[in-house]
Amino acid sequence: MPSFVATSTGAAEHGGDPAQTLAHLAVTALVDEAELTPKPALVDRRGNGAHHDLDLARLCGSARSLGDGLVAIARAAAAEPPSPRLREELGRIGRDMERAMLAATGGGNAHRGAIWALGLLVAAAAQTPPRSATAPSRAAATAARAAALARLPDRFAPRVASHGEHARLRYGVSGARGEAQAGFPHALRIGVPTLRAARRQGRPEPCARLDALLAIMATLDDTCLLHRGGQDALTIAKTGARAVLTAGGAGDPIGLTLLYQLHADLMARWASPGGSGDLLAVTLFLDRLDDGAGPIAATAQEAWSWRS
């Protein structure tokens, strides 16, 4: 398999190969999410956030370690229609990617949730035609195909429940699996519209991405927060994120002050909104499938308040 290189600003060495292009988009989305600063209690350019085992270098190294696996996923999906056999092959590749991630981070779980989400989306995008007049949103079509893949069984999936799965069962929330099976609504219906609305309003790109993250946090039952800090941490995250957005977002001086306060509140509980971070990477990936435009439209207020 050819080596894969991607950075948040550079081009992928894909030579027109659709599988390499999709993998590059996914890895770049992960690196861009990691480097975005200041995020509340997440790894960024300032430090480790609420993580002992991760820093920015490890997080970016983990993202880049997934490139070859994502290429393999895209090629497998392009060669076969959705089926239980394809789902099992994607699961096998995903488990190989987890081993690559653990090797790159020295045992840190940097991207297990992102492997699940972006693996499904890369597979779905490999089966989805580019944007056209008759199909103007490749992102929406890709999310729908990913949901269908997520609902297929994988006989070989590990039976040991993750921390996120324990939190899902304890608190009765949908979790990462439910989010995928529903077509990633927090990315497609909240993250992408918030991102694009902020751009239309002239916000700098980092502020637009932070607002998209906060919009996701304001509505998501994040199992990472529930695992780390219970319902109290989740409530603080949702309330704090809404307060930042109501004050004008990350680009507003008051909003930025509230963002730093949210960071301090979550750090005091050592609670990281990792699920929201994964869905911001999903948001950036879906946005780029449509070249940053398309019919997924909503005002920022409509986007982040639809489930509040």
Average confidence (pLDDT) over 251-266: 98
Identity (one letter) of the amino acid at 120? L
Identity (one letter) of the amino acid at 202? G
218 DSSP assignment: T
In a domain, 141, yes or no: yes
Tokens of residue 217, six digits: 């946090």
Owning domain of residue 236: 18-155+163-305
Query: Are the CB atoms for 237 and 217 separated by under 8 Å?
Result: yes
Q: Is this model's pTM higher than 0.75 or not?
A: yes
Tokens of residue 144, six digits: 């729908």
Give me the number of domains the chain comprises. Answer: 1
Q: Mind listing the pLDDT tens digit for each residue in 203-248?
A: 999 999 999 999 999 999 999 999 989 999 999 999 999 999 999 9
Instruction: Identify the three-state secondary structure at position 226.
Output: helix
User: Does a cis peptide bond (omega within 30 degrees of 0) precede residue 38?
Assistant: yes
In a domain, 58, yes or no: yes
In a domain, 264, yes or no: yes
Per the model's pLDDT, the better-predicted residue between 14 and 280 turns out to be 280
DSSP for 268-295, please give it: HTT---HHHHHHHHHHHHHHHHTTT-SS
In a domain, 47, yes or no: yes
Quickly state the pLDDT bin for 162 (edges 50, 70, 90): confident
Quickly state the pLDDT bin for 297 (edges 50, 70, 90): low
